[in-house]
Amino acid sequence: MTYLQGPEAETFARAEACDRFPVLAMPDLTYTPEVADATAPIYAKVRHVIPAIEWPAFAPMIHAINRLKAERNAVILAHNYQTPEIFHGVADIVGDSLQLAQEAAKSDAEVIVQCGVHFMAETSKLLCPDKVVLIPDARAGCSLAASIKGADVRRLREAYPGVPVVAYVNTSADVKAEVDICCTSSNAVEVVESLGAERVIFLPDQYLAKWVASQTDVEIIAWHGACEVHERFSGAELSAYREADPGLKIIAHPECPPDVLAEADFTGSTAKMIKWVADEHPEKVLMVTECSMADNVAAEAPDVEFVRPCNLCPHMKRIQLPKILDSLLFMKEEVVIDPLIAAKARRSVERMVNLKS
C-alpha cells in the first residue's frame, strides 16, 4: 500500500478520521538502536519464523503500533490466521472466532482494532456497541459470509416452517439478524444440541454442517457455502503425505470436505488445533488449515516439525502492519451497523456467548 508521510497525509487524515478522536502525528519509522532494543523480546519469540533480515522492516511499525495503542486506549484482537509479526508483535488478544468474540465482550478498552476479517469486526461491534471498532482493511471478506444474505434465510424459514436456524459466525450482521443463534467451529455441536429440536437449519458452510451432522443425532439441513481455503484440500493429497511419512499426525479444521476429515487424527477449531499440539506434542504434524497458523504455533513450539501445505486466506492477508498503523493514526475503517439490524443480530450472538457449556 502507499504510505502517506507528506502533506497528503494530513488531507487524507482529515477526510478519514473519526470526529471524536484527534489525528495523531505520524511516528518516525526508522530502525534505531532504541527500536531494536524495545522489540528484541518480540523478535526472540518469532525468530524461528521471521528471518533476521526482515526484522528491521517490521520492528519500527510494531514499536509505533504498540505505543499508539496506549495513546488511543485501544486493544488489538488478532485471529489465529494473522501473520506472526501481527500475532506475536502487536496483538493483545489472540484466538479463534469464539475466543475473540468472548474477549471483545469483556474488554475495557475504548477502541478495538480487529485484525481478522469483516464478520469478526462486526461481531465485536455487536457485542460492544459503545466501543469504536476498527478494521484495518474493510475489504477483508470471507467466501462463507459472501455466500448468503438475510433474504436467503427468510426463504429457508418459509421452506422449513418452525425449524430453528443456526448461523456460523462467518456471516454478515444482516444474516445474523434473521437466525435464532450463532455458533463457531468451537461450539457448533453444543449450539445445535442446545436447541432441543429434531431438525436444525445450519448455514452457510456445507462442510461444517456435514461434520456437525456426523457428531449428533439432530438432523441437519445445510446451505451450500464453502470456505475457499479449506475446500482446496483433498483426502488424496493427505494420504500421499501420510504414505510418505507414516509417523505424521494430521489435524484438520471442520470447514474441510469429508474426505479430508476422514484422513485426520483430530478435527477442531483453530484454538482446539493449537491446544491439541500443545497437549499431544507430536514429533511431526500437518495442520490442515490456513498456513499462517502453523507459523504462529511453530514460533512457540520450535521442537515440533510442521508440514505446511500452504493455503493462504486472501482476506486475512489484507491485514498488514502499515494498515494497522493507519487505523490507529486515522481511526479507520470504523465498523458501523444499521441499528435495527444490529439489535436483532446481537441477540443471536449473545445467545451463543451466554450458552453454558
List contacts with ligand SF4 (CB under 6 A). 117, 142-144, 170, 227-229, 255, 290, 313, 315-316
Tell me how far apart the alpha carbons of residues 341 and 81 are, in angstroms, rounded to a whole number. Answer: 28
Give whichever of 66 and 311 is closer to ligand SF4, judged by the CB atom: 311
Q: Which does 13 bind (CB under 5 to 8 A by kind): ligand SF4, ligand 13P, none?
A: none
Q: Which does 327 bind (CB under 5 to 8 A by kind): ligand SF4, ligand 13P, none?
A: none
User: In angstroms, what is the minimal distance from the CB of 120 to ligand SF4?
Assistant: 8
Tell me how far apart the alpha carbons of residues 195 and 71 are, in angstroms, rounded to a whole number. Answer: 44
* H/E segment holding residue 115: strand 111-115
**Residue 331 zone, left/alpha/beta (φ > 0; ψ -120 to 50; rest):** left
Tell me how far apart the alpha carbons of residues 175 and 296 are, in angstroms, rounded to a whole number. Answer: 31
Give whichever of 144 and 324 is closer to ligand SF4, judged by the CB atom: 144
Tell me the H-state helices in 96-248. 97-106, 118-127, 150-159, 173-176, 188-194, 206-215, 235-244
Q: Which does 74 bind (CB under 5 to 8 A by kind): ligand SF4, ligand 13P, none?
A: none
CA angle (347, 111, 342) in 5-degree steps = 20
Q: In what order do the strands lie in the sheet with 181-183?
A: 181-183, 165-168, 199-203, 219-222
Give whichever of 236 and 312 is closer to ligand SF4, judged by the CB atom: 312
Q: Which does 183 bind (CB under 5 to 8 A by kind): ligand SF4, ligand 13P, none?
A: none
User: In angstroms, what is the minimal distance from the CB of 50 to ligand 13P?
Assistant: 22
User: In angstroms, what is the minimal distance from the CB of 343 to ligand SF4?
Assistant: 25
User: In angstroms, what is the minimal distance from the CB of 88 to ligand SF4?
Assistant: 20
Give whichever of 132 and 349 is closer to ligand 13P, judged by the CB atom: 349
**Positions that interact with ligand 13P (CB under 6 A):** 80, 96-97, 170, 184-185, 227, 255, 269-270
Burial class (CB in 10 A: 0-12, 13-18, 19+), 144: buried
